[in-house]
Amino acid sequence: MEKKSRLIIKNNKFLLDGRDFQFISGAIHYFRMPKESWHHSLYNLKAMGANTVETYIPWNMHEKEEGLFNFDDNLDVTAFVKEAEKVGLFVIIRPTPYICAEWEFGGLPAWLLNYRNMRIRSSDTQFLEKVGSYYQRLFEKLSPLQSTHGGPILMMQLENEYGSFGDDKKYLHGILELMKKNGCEVPIFTSDGEWKAAQRAGNLTEFGVLPTVNFGSEVSSNLKKFTECYDSDYPLMIMEFWDGWFNHYGERIIKRDPKEFAESLREGLKIASVNLYMFHGGTNFGFMNGCSSPENRLIPQVTSYDYDAILDEAGNPTAKFYEIQKVIHELFPSIIQNRPLIKPTISAQAHLTNKVSFFEVKEMVSDVKISDYPMTMEELNHPYGYVMYEHSYKKDNSVEKFKIIDGSDRAQIFLNYELKKTQYLAEIGEPITAEISQENNTLSILMENIGRTNYGPGLLNEKQRKGIRTGVMADIHFMSGDWNHYSINDTKLSTADFSKPWKYKTPSLYKYHVQLEEIEDTYLDLTDFGKGFVMVNNINIGRFWESGPYLTLYIPKSYLCKGKNEIIIFETEGKFSEIINFSKVPLFVSNDKLISDKH
C-alpha cells in the first residue's frame, strides 16, 4: 500500500490530514543545550501556543572526524524529536550540510578543509560524496521519524540561505537527490531572503521544492517582495522570523522591544505560517561559536546564544513570551496554552586551590606532534581551540625580528616564556622585534582559533584554515626542523600537575573547588579574568573574554553535582581571582567599558 504524507501542499495551502494547517513554530537547537534541558524548552514552546518545533542539525557535531559519527547523549536527535512529539509538537528538520546559525564554520566539519581542491557548498562531486556519506547515517535516524511513518517530522530543508551564497542549481539538485535517496518523503523547502536575487539563486521550485522566506520585520512589505519573485502561488511561510539577534565580543547587546515584536508577529500570523528564530537560543558550549568576517577582520560571536529570544539562555520565559502568548490567544482562542516552566538558579563561591603555568604542564594537557614546519590545526586533527607552536632557536644577532607568515586567528608570541607580542588577524605577519641575550632560546607561539566564519564569502577564505599555514621567519629565512605542536586537549586539563610553578603573566591553569548541597542552573562570574575557556567537572562550558559584553558563562544544572565540584580555567592574559562567584543572573560589561574588537 502506498504511503501518503500527512502534510501536503495544495492550492496554496498546507493541508494536514486533509485540513488547513498553519505552522506556529519556534526554533530550539538541541545541540546548544544538555539533553536534560530539552523537555523544559519544548514544554514552554507548547505552553506558549505553538504547534511545531524547528531545529538545525550540525554536521560538524555529528561527524567531528571523518567517518566517525556521534548521535548519542546531547546529540541524540532521535530522542529530541521523540520528546517533541511527547509534548505535542510537530517537527521541522533542517538537516542541510550548511546551517549558518552563528555556529562554527556554519556547521560544516573542519576536516573538509584538508581537501584543498574541494569546493564546499557546490556541485563538486567530492563534496557531494562527503555529504552523501553523512546523509546515509543521518537519515537512518530521521527517516523513521517522518510523518509518512507515523512520526512528527512534517518538513525538511534542502539548503540554508543558499541564495546568499551561490546559484549552483546542480548542487541543489544533488542535495535533493541525496535526501530522496536516503528516504526523505516529507515536503522539502528552501529558505532565503525576501529579495529577488536571493530567491532566484536559492530556490529549486522546478523540482517541487517549496520556497520560504527569512526576515524580522516589515511583514507586509517583505512578503510582497517575496511573492513577487514567483509566477505561481505557494503557501506563505516565514521560515525565520527573527525575534532578536546574535552578539559579538566587544559590542553592545542587541535588544528588541517585546511589544513591538509581538505586534509584528501578529501581522505575520494573520497571513502566513511562522517559525520564530529563535524560541530558545541556548549556548555555544566548547569552542563552537561562529565568526563574522567583514573586510579583513574576524569578529567572533560570544559563547551565549541568548539572542534576546523568547526564552533566555537558561530556557526561562522573557517578556516576549507573555506578549506572544497573548497574541496567539487573541488570534487563535481555541489553542490550549499553559503557564511556562521556570528554573530556579543558585549562588555560591568557588575557591582557588592551586594554579600552574601552562608552560610547566604543556605535555600533560596537550596532544603533541613534531614536524619540520608548522602544521595547521586541521592537519593536526585539532581544529578547535588552541595550539602552541614551539621551536628552539640559536642566537644570530643581539636583536632579532620574527614573523608569522599566514596565521589565524590570534597569536601570543613568547621568547623564553616571556610575552613579546599579541597579534590579531590584521597584525599577524608584522615583524616582532626581540632582544636576544642568551645563546639557546625557545620561541613559543600560542595560536587560538577564535571561530570560523559562518556566513558569506568568508566561508571559502583561506583564513578558515587555522593556526600557522605557511611558517615562521627569523631574519629573512623560514625556521625549520623540530617544530613541537602542543594541541591543548580540554579534557586533559584535570590531569595537570598543579604542584609545578606558576609564573605571572603567562597562560595558566587555575583550579577551583566548590561544595554544593543543592544544584540548579547558575552563571559563573569571570569579571576578574582576561581571556580563555572554562571546564566545569571536565565539561567545556565555553570561552570568555574581558572585552564583554558578557562577564558570565552559563552553567546548566546537569553539569553540576551535589558535593564537590571542580572548575578549571585556562586563562591566557595572566588575570585571575582567588574566589569566583556563582551568580543567579548573567552579568554584563557596562556599555562605556566595552573593549572594541581588534580583529
The residue annotated as part of the active site, out of 63, 83, 161, 546, is 161
The residue annotated as part of the active site, out of 102, 159, 240, 546, is 240
Distances (CA, A) of 275 to 54, 84, 288, 501: 7, 15, 24, 54
State how far the Cα of 471 lies from the Cα of 455, in Å rounded to an integer.
28
Does residue 598 have a pLDDT over 50?
no
Q: What is the pLDDT of residue 550?
A: 97
The CATH H-level superfamily of 18-331 is Glycosidases (3.20.20.80)
Mean pLDDT for 458-474 is 97
- Residue ranges covered by each domain of the chain: 18-331, 348-353+499-593, 366-488
CB-count burial class (<10 Å; 0-12, 13-18, 19+) for 283: buried
Q: Which of 433, 454, 424 is nearest to 597 (CA)?
A: 424
Categorize the per-residue pLDDT at 102 as very low, low, confident or very high, splitting at 50, 70 and 90: very high
Categorize the per-residue pLDDT at 5 as very low, low, confident or very high, splitting at 50, 70 and 90: low
Q: Dihedral (C-alpha) 245, 246, 250, 252: value to the nearest 10 degrees? A: 20
Q: What is the pLDDT of residue 200?
A: 98
State how far the Cα of 463 lies from the Cα of 409, in Å rounded to an integer.
8
Distances (CA, A) of 66 to 59, 123, 462, 485: 11, 20, 21, 22
Find the helix packing angle between 219-227 and 258-269, rounded to 10°. Answer: 40
Q: What is the pLDDT of residue 595?
A: 59
Q: Dihedral (C-alpha) 95, 98, 99, 102: value to the nearest 10 degrees? A: 150
Q: What is the pLDDT of residue 297?
A: 85
Q: What is the pLDDT of residue 593?
A: 65
Give tens-digit pLDDT for 381-392: 999 999 999 999
Categorize the per-residue pLDDT at 1 as very low, low, confident or very high, splitting at 50, 70 and 90: very low
Give tens-digit pLDDT for 320-371: 999 999 999 999 999 999 999 999 999 999 999 999 999 999 999 999 999 9
Q: What is the pLDDT of residue 296?
A: 74
Categorize the per-residue pLDDT at 30 as very low, low, confident or very high, splitting at 50, 70 and 90: very high
Q: What percent of the chain has pLDDT over 70?
A: 98
Give tens-digit pLDDT for 103-158: 999 999 999 999 999 999 999 999 999 999 999 999 999 999 999 999 999 999 99
State how far the Cα of 451 lies from the Cα of 468, in Å rounded to an integer.
15
- Angle formed at CA 291 by CA 376 and CA 406, multiple of 5 degrees: 30
Establish whether domains 348-353+499-593 and 366-488 are of one fold.
yes
Q: What is the pLDDT of residue 597?
A: 44
- DSSP state string for 375-418: -BTTTTT--SEEEEEEEEEE---SEEEEEEEEEESEEEEEETTE
Residue 378 annotated to the active site: no
Categorize the per-residue pLDDT at 594 as very low, low, confident or very high, splitting at 50, 70 and 90: low
Q: What is the pLDDT of residue 168?
A: 98
Does residue 599 have a pLDDT over 50?
no
Multiple choice CATH, 348-353+499-593, 3.40.640.10, 3.60.21.10, 2.60.120.260, 1.10.579.10: 2.60.120.260
Q: Are 44 and 341 in contact (CB under 8 A)?
A: yes
Give tens-digit pLDDT for 191-214: 999 999 999 999 999 999 999 999
200 φ, ψ to 5°? -60, -45
CATH 3.40.50.150: does it fit domain 366-488? no
Mean pLDDT for 74-95 is 98
Does residue 245 have a pLDDT over 50?
yes
Give tens-digit pLDDT for 496-554: 999 999 999 999 999 999 999 999 999 999 999 999 999 999 999 999 999 999 999 99
Categorize the per-residue pLDDT at 80 as very low, low, confident or very high, splitting at 50, 70 and 90: very high
Residue 240 annotated to the active site: yes
